[in-house]
Amino acid sequence: MNKHEIPRLVIAGTGSGVGKTTIVAGLLAVLKQRGLAVQSYKVGPDYIDPGYHRLASGKPAHNLDTWLVSAENLVELFATTAKGCDVAIIEGVMGLYDGGRGGISSTAAIAKQLAAPVILVLDAKAAGESIAATALGFKAYDTEVNLAGVIVNRLGSSSHKAMVGEALERLSITVFGQLLRTEALMIKERHLGLTPVTESDAAQALGAMAWQVSRDVAVDKLLEAARSAPPLPISKKIASPKEKSVRIGVAQDEAFSFYYPESLAVLETLGAELVPFSPLGDKALPVVDGLIFGGGFPEMFLPDLSANMVIKAAIGRAAQRAMPIYAECGGLMYLARQIESFDGQSFEMVGLVPAVCRMQSRLQTVGYVEATALKDNIFCQRGESLRGHEFHFSSMTVDADADFNWAFEFRKLRTGAVYPGGYAAGSVLASYLHLHFSGNQAAAARFIAKCKEFQRQREMIP
């Protein structure tokens, strides 16, 4: 068993909205300015926060999730992607102890799995000395979590800062930073969380974030804490990439951007050459043997997606030729017959899935899901299961008298609720389920095999 020396640190919070992403982005920018090689991570399945990490560090961030990826594979994923870095910074999700049922994929669970020191972000906007009691409670709740100290955010004044600092000092809780409240550092939100970095003014705010972190956070002390993490034992051998044997088109533009870098890397390791294309702007599909449509925000680009008749027709022809086509969440919506916008306007989409997706004012579902195949499809055989998560504001309506080809039986991890989900017919598989191929490698291998079958058939046609 090998042991890897990886300086690492978890930036956690008492809950959502306390400023974790802002502080992490500022810290990453400061570390990069110092010339350090830094690798960042996000606990849980979120796609948007890692975009801010990438903006700050210049490198793709990776997700750490013990439902989507097994614990053993998660440690391997972390060690592989952190190899050669000077420090790894891991942003938590929600509150330190929040996660799926039984604490699955909570920040605390990931911190213990990786033996990483934890820095707790406390929001002092509406509290004084009670902040110290909150910190003490988080420290005592699970003594197996190495809570190294705190960063206090959104202080109202210098006197407020002194009061909170003195209260924490009395409890011998290390304070790594105290940041005053400023609206300039607030990241805008919308229906799926933070506004994607490509659509926000985050680049302008990043400089302010870095400046405040460098002024108000003891960065050198944070690095000392990160270097105190013990060596990480790694037992699994890293798979050697296979020779590229198939080409898979991946929809990547402003409408479709929800992809896990390490998940796509699994496809590459299995022999896929990934070819990006844009359903928004391209007028032809690339020459490929399969298509993937990830999630994103198609609802924000409905007129342009609907107007690109050429690419929609090309996708339809690809399906008629039995090209393997996989879509999840926003990708499912795009492959549907229509999408109805928040204001009730209908826009024609590709039409491979005989359903209408409607944007709703409230979140329809969120959480981890186990999906059991109701029939053979391009990812798995009937009765086999996949692990993923759902998070969407749209609903899907099928014709009441139609014999709809449901793909899966979904079971909610937290509640045990069971319901049909997705669509599987011929070479098309689409659902609201977000997958990570590191935790569903058999599905990735089956998809590659289906693409190879299509490639052989395509090459036989003169």
The reply to whether 330 falls in a domain is yes
Q: Are 18 and 104 members of one domain?
A: yes
Residue 220 CB contacts under 8 Å (≥ 6 apart), including other chains: none
Helix, strand, or coil (residue 409)? strand
Interhelix angle for 49-57 vs 202-216, to 10°?
Answer: 70
CA-wise closest residue to 64 among 85, 87, 84, 46: 46
Which is the catalytic residue, given 329, 357, 380, 451? 329
CA-wise closest residue to 174 among 140, 228, 222: 222
Cβ-contact 430, 335 below 8 angstroms: yes
CA torsion sign, 416 to 358 to 433 to 16? negative
Q: Is 329 a catalytic site residue?
A: yes
Residue 336 CB contacts under 8 Å (≥ 6 apart), including other chains: 349, 350, 351, 352, 353, 355, 356, 357, 396
CA-wise closest residue to 226 among 85, 65, 26: 85
Please give the DSSP secondary-structure letter assigned to residue 217. Answer: B
Q: What tens digit of pLDDT does each residue of 390-427 get?
A: 998 999 999 877 789 999 999 999 899 999 999 999 99
Domain boundary among 213, 234, 255: 234
Residue 422 CB contacts under 8 Å (≥ 6 apart), including other chains: 332, 371, 406, 407, 408, 410, 429, 430, 431, 432, 433
Domain coverage including residue 38? 2-234
d(CA 259, CA 329): 12
Burial class (CB in 10 A: 0-12, 13-18, 19+), 73: middle
Q: Are 32 and 129 members of one domain?
A: yes
Residue 37 CB contacts under 8 Å (≥ 6 apart), including other chains: 84, 85, 86
Q: Are 377 and 431 members of one domain?
A: yes
d(CA 252, CA 260): 12
Q: Are 8 and 98 members of one domain?
A: yes
Residue numbers of the chain with a pLDDT score lower than 50:
190-193, 199
By DSSP bridging, strand 418-425 and strand 428-431 are antiparallel
Q: What tens digit of pLDDT does each residue of 241-280 get?
A: 778 899 999 999 999 999 999 999 999 999 999 999 999 9
Write down the pLDDT at residue 189: 54
The reply to whether 194 falls in a domain is yes
The reply to whether 319 falls in a domain is yes
d(CA 273, CA 128): 55
By DSSP bridging, strand 353-359 and strand 394-398 are antiparallel
The reply to whether 241 falls in a domain is no
Q: Are 220 and 301 members of one domain?
A: no
Looking up residue 76, the CATH number of its domain turns out to be 3.40.50.300
- The H-or-E segment that residue 68 falls in is none
Tell me the pTM: 0.90
- The H-or-E segment that residue 29 falls in is helix 20-33
Q: What tens digit of pLDDT does each residue of 159-210 get?
A: 999 999 999 999 999 999 999 988 655 555 544 445 555 545 667 778 888 9
The reply to whether 240 falls in a domain is no
What residue ranges in 225-319 does DSSP mark as E strands?
Answer: 232-234, 246-251, 256-258, 272-277, 290-293, 295-296
Amino acid at 410: F
Domain boundary among 234, 262, 297: 234
Q: Are 290 and 194 members of one domain?
A: no
Residue 406 CB contacts under 8 Å (≥ 6 apart), including other chains: 374, 420, 421, 422, 423, 424
The reply to whether 239 falls in a domain is no
Q: Are 228 and 261 members of one domain?
A: no
Q: Are 158 and 279 members of one domain?
A: no
Q: Are 254 and 376 members of one domain?
A: yes
Identify the bridge partners of residue 305 per DSSP, sorted by sequence position.
none
Q: Are 111 and 158 members of one domain?
A: yes
Domain boundary among 208, 234, 260: 234
Q: How many residues does the chain have?
A: 462
Angle at 397 between CA 252 and CA 283, to 5 degrees: 30
Q: Are 183 and 251 members of one domain?
A: no
The reply to whether 118 falls in a domain is yes
Cβ-contact 8, 87 below 8 angstroms: yes
Looking up residue 419, the CATH number of its domain turns out to be 3.40.50.880
Cβ-contact 19, 217 below 8 angstroms: no
CA-wise closest residue to 312 among 270, 348, 345, 350: 350
Identify the bridge partners of residue 118 per DSSP, sorted by sequence position.
10, 147
Looking at the structure of the chain, the number of domains it has is 2
Q: Are 95 and 227 members of one domain?
A: yes
